[in-house]
Structure 1
Amino acid sequence: MKFLLYTKVNERNVKHSLGMPEYSYYFVYKEFKDVFSEFGEIVTVHSKEEIATNYELSTANGVDCVVVFFCPPHVAPDVYPLKAFCVLAWEFDTIPNESWDGDKRNDWRYVLDRHIGLICLSSHTREVVRKEMGADYHVSDIAVPVWDSYAAELPENSVLATERSLKLDVEGNVIDSHAYAITEEKFEIDCGTLNFKLEPWSGKPLQFVFDHEHTDSAFLGGFYHAEGWGTWSRMETPWLFLQAKISGDIEVSFRARGFGASVGKEISLNIGGVVEGFTLSAESTEYHLDFNDVPPSNIIRFVGLDLTPPGYDFDARSMAIGLESLVILDRSGDRRVTDQPCNHTVSLDVSGLIYTTVFNPADARKNWEDIVRAFCYVFSENEKATLILKVTHQHLSSMMGRLHFLLQQIGNVRCRVIAVHGFLQDNSFRKLIENTSYYVNASSAEGLCLPLLEFMASGVPAIAPEHTAMADYIDEKSSFVVASSKEPSIWPHDPRLLKRATSYRVNWESLVEQFENSYSCATTDRSRYERKCLASQENVKKYTASSLIKAKLEIFLKQVKLL
């Protein structure tokens, strides 16, 4: 038997696929391939053409062959009548049973009827498929074999993770709440504590548009959410963050307007200590400022705004400045230095009680902002508590602006929130697991949640709801269970946005309560914390041990007559 394992993402492009729909399926494939190798030869393929070539060669040599797609049914290339099946992660209570946009493959029943069966990653999905496809359809729930890869023996004398010390090198960026000074009037960034990978400036124009149709507003600090015309600020010194250090002679052109007492007042732009002034108009106006001999800098600050409120009822947006767009041009010519150093890794140093969550900020199911709000609400006065947000998306703009605005709303707190944006090598990811006290999940639905399983396999208890796929391994013994209730939802790839399924609304008050309970447990009840560590491992072992996965896969392969 030969298994053609199809995945769009591979080892070469995985770093550049962060946040893409196929990204998580690569890790499912990576964990499954060794199990499939127990039953025959495996060949990894990435296209319909590779499938056809390998299938023809195998059958010509008398070798039975099957295609295993690590992707949802509507994404799998149509190879009928070749034998094929999908390995599926799905989190809703219905599967797509309608077609749209003239594509009958959007109706998963059409694809599944042409496949010999289906492997899904949870008992929840298995029952959803059976409800639609019938009790006779060959569908098996086989989780990713996590246990054997991530199982770790708990340290005998340091089970309580209250004083962990994490030192990590990140190939990317680190957003640290302690790098900001936050008051009602200020949202300042301390450039001396920045942990960003800054690229050299090529000298090409840098162009930004700050309306709601663009993501450039993500790089602003002290501004509010973008609107149709642009964005606005009522802070004293709002700023723009650049991912490259500009220097030399430059021209900055921007379109802005003044509000309230700032109208008619001369304010200034500060770039690396070089300051140029301009007078704000009440109308949208194009400004052009020339800067000479600017030292390398990646922050542009607006300085001198007047926040004096009018003496009558007013819209808060009428207080300072509105910003629509900005362009940076190089005027240094041959005199500009182009060999600025670029930091390829940034260092992270954290100690205390560490909570971690791994998520794609473009995935609305993850509710990561609720996690940040609840964490800061509970630990506002606790400098020993840290929340690490491991971001799995290739673009920094996917969450930087939302996190900045969230920190601005929350205000000054003593706890620490750290967003890690970038790829972690296996050894760095394991170091993160080893030094995490609790894993946090506030998702509205999960098809598996592979990071949660990986952390639990290493003895890290969870704060998580007990629904969808998580119901297979989350319980009161292993975790601090967050309450949730059903609500209408959409199929995430359906552009019609029709309510055809349900997901779960996480109870924020319960999330707060479980943060409080978890901290109390870790700091005052060693034996209870240890029991949860051990129960986490036991649950994952029962669910994902390779011996179990192999046995269930063998049964499935016999059902579909491949063995």
Structure 2
Amino acid sequence: MLIIIHSETNQHTIAQNLGRSEYSYYFVLKEYRPVLERLGRVVEVRDPQTEVDALYLECLSRGEGCVFLSFSPPHRTPVNFTCPTLPVFAWEFSTIPNEPFDSNPLNDWRTVLRACGAAITHSSYTVDAVREVMGADYPIIAVPAPVWDRFSARGAHLQRQPLASQVRLKLKGLLVDSRKLDLRAFGPVALREGVGINFKAPPSEQELVLNGVIYTSVFNPGDGRKNWEDMLSAFCVTFREVDDATLVLKLTHHDAEEALDDILHHLYKNQSYRCRIVLIYGYLADADYEKLVQATSYVVNTSYGEGQCLPLMEFMSCGKPAVAPRTTAMIDYLDADNAFLIDTTAELTAWPHDPRRAFRTLRYITNWASLCRAYQLSYDVAKGSPDRYEQMSVHAVASLKKFCSQTAAEQWLNVFFERLLENRAVETPGA
């Protein structure tokens, strides 16, 4: 069987696309690829319009099955190919787009999903949302990006201790430390003074030393779903008088000033605090990323919803318990034994690509007081209950193995593809 794969962002464009729409699909494709290669021949194409059907016709000529996996949301998935096409997509809202808008009939995802006849997503939450409008028997499967093997291997030799002690890591880029920053430079525009940051300076080598109880979050600050404002303000309030609590924000974006400017202003607004806030904008080599994971006590997520959340899955696969809400895709792998759970409230919102901003779906708002409690409880465990921390760490690894290991992904995809071959005659009859 030939499995054709494509995402709009690829290895040649990822650097300039960081933080832009749909960039994360490339990382999902990369994680899927080793599993797909166990199930068939894999070819990654750069121009689906000219390559996909040509490859499909070659397969037909020799009696070989063929399918095209488009790592993209349905409205960006082509439906004009002869080759069987499946969108592989993430979604974090309670409903899928079920009406056309912006003069594009494909924005009604029902049109695409009917044309494709099947789909792959990453959570049971999204499967339920699709089947709500497509019918209970619509062929869709939840297969998260299989990150567990790679990150559990990294975590296997890390000490499962909740407190960091003089962990040093190097990066090439911009490092902002609240204890070394003149925050006056990021106050209200009319009142700014002091020394700011030269965002135009070339990237330089930086060293970061981490100690104490470390909370880490990896996200794109331009992604409106991430709700980093609550994450930051609750941290500053909870640990206002605590010296050894540190929040590390590893930021993924293509523009340093755009990524950091608003966060720096919030650092100014939340003064004063004795806890430490560290912003990392730049490249971490694998060894130093591993040191960041090693130093981390807890991985943090305060988003309005997640299609799967690769950083959360990665850190938990390494044995790092979470501080996060149990909503959307996170329902599949978070529980009270591997995370300090944050309460949420449902709120009406719009689908993110709908220019009308019409309320058609739900997102989940963080309960700020609950987030403060989760911070405090997790800190208390890190400082005073090493046995409980160890149990949570072990359970995090086990939970993520069940959710996003390569073995699990291979089993689910193998059964799914076999059913497609049987029900839709993906293979040439008689082959």
Distance 1:13 1:416 in 2: 35
SS at match of 1:242: coil
What is the CA-CA distance between 1:156 and the residue it aligns to? 9.0
Aligned to 1:36: 36
Counterpart contact for 1:388–1:418, Cα < 8 Å: yes
**CA-to-aligned-CA distance 1:493-523 (integer Å, 9 cap, x gap):** 1111011000101100000011000010011
1:165 aligns with 2:166: yes
Contact 2:173 2:203 in 1 (8 A): no
CA contact (8 A) 1:223 1:238 kept: no
Q: Is it true that 1:175 corresponds to 2:176 in the alignment? A: yes
Q: Is the alpha carbon distance of 1:98 and 1:156 closer, same or farther for their aligned partners in structure 2, counting shifts above 3 Å?
A: closer
- Please tell me whether the aligned partners of residues 164 and 295 of structure 2 are also in contact (alpha carbons under 8 angstroms): no
State the match for 1:418 in structure 2.
278
What SS is found at the alignment partner of 1:66?
strand
Match status 1:471 vs 2:331: yes
Secondary structure, counterpart of 1:557 in structure 2? helix
Deviation, 1:374, is: 0.9
Say whether residues 1:382 and 2:242 are aligned partners: yes
> What letter is aligned with 2:120?
I
Deviation at 1:413, TM superposition (A): 2.1
Query: Are residues 1:532 and 2:375 paired?
Result: no
* CA offsets 1:56-77 (integer angstroms, 9 cap, x no match): 4333444322110111011123
Say which SS state the counterpart of residue 151 (structure 1) adopts: helix
1:152 Cα deviation after fit: 4.1
For the 8 Å contact 1:394–1:422, the answer to whether it is kept is no
Paired residues, number: 422
- Identify the range of structure 1 (173-182 vs 111-120) with the bigger mean alpha-carbon deviation: 173-182
Partner of 2:5: 5
CA distance in 2, matches of 1:154, 1:52: 42
The match for 2:298 is 438
Aligned counterpart in structure 1 of residue 190 of structure 2, from 207, 228, 232: 232
Conservation of the 8 A alpha-carbon contact between 2:127 and 2:141: yes
Task: Kindly state the Cα deviation for residue 411 of structure 1 after the two structures are TM-superposed.
Answer: 1.8
TM-score (norm: length of structure 1): 0.72
| Mapping 1:44-55, distance limit 5 Å | 44-47=44-47, 48-55=49-56
- State the shift of 1:153 in Å: 7.8
CA-CA distance at 1:157 after TM superposition: 9.9
Q: 1:424 to 1:163 in 2, by over 3 A?
A: closer
How far apart, in 1, do the equivalents of 2:405 and 2:200 lie?
Answer: 46
Give the structure with the higher percent helix. Answer: 2
Larger Cα-atom Rg: 1
Distance 2:420 2:9 in 1: 27
CA distance in 2, matches of 1:458, 1:505: 28
Partner SS state of residue 24, structure 2: helix
| Paired residue type of 2:16 | H
**Inter-CA distance 525–547: structure 2 relative to 1 (3 Å threshold):** same
Q: Which residue of 1 aligns with 2:74?
A: 73
C-alpha separation in 1, matches of 2:9 and 2:244 = 39
3-state SS of the aligned residue for 2:357? coil
CA distance in 2, matches of 1:54, 1:447: 31
TM-score normalised by length of structure 2: 0.93
Amino acid at match of 1:86: P
Note if 1:506 corresponds to 2:366.
yes
Counterpart residue number, 2:312:
452
Cα 1:464–1:359 change in 2 (3 A) is same
Distance 1:106 1:425, change over 3 A: farther
User: Does the aligned pair in 1 maintain the 2:156–2:318 contact within 8 Å?
Assistant: no
Is this contact kept in 1: 2:210–2:295, CA < 8 A? no
Ranges in structure 1 where 5+ consecutive residues have no aligned partner:
188-220, 225-230, 246-341
Query: Which letter maps to 2:13?
Result: N
User: How far is the alpha carbon of 1:161 from its aligned partner?
Assistant: 2.2
Q: CA deviation at 1:114?
A: 1.0
Q: Which residue of 2 aligns with 1:542?
A: 402
Q: Distance in 2 between matches of 1:403 and 1:165?
A: 26
User: Residues 39 and 410 of structure 2 are in contact (CA less than 8 Å); yes or no, is this contact kept in structure 1?
Assistant: no
Measure, in 1, the Cα distance between the counterparts of 2:171 and 2:353: 32
Give the Cα separation in 2 of the matches to 1:156 and 1:42: 32
Gaps of 5+ in 2: none
- Indicate the residue corresponding to 1:495 in structure 2: 355
Secondary structure, in 3 states, of the residue corresponding to 1:345? strand
> Separation in 1 of the partners of 2:53 and 2:405?
33
Going from structure 1 to structure 2, the CA distance change for 1:240 and 1:357 (only over 3 Å counts) comes to closer
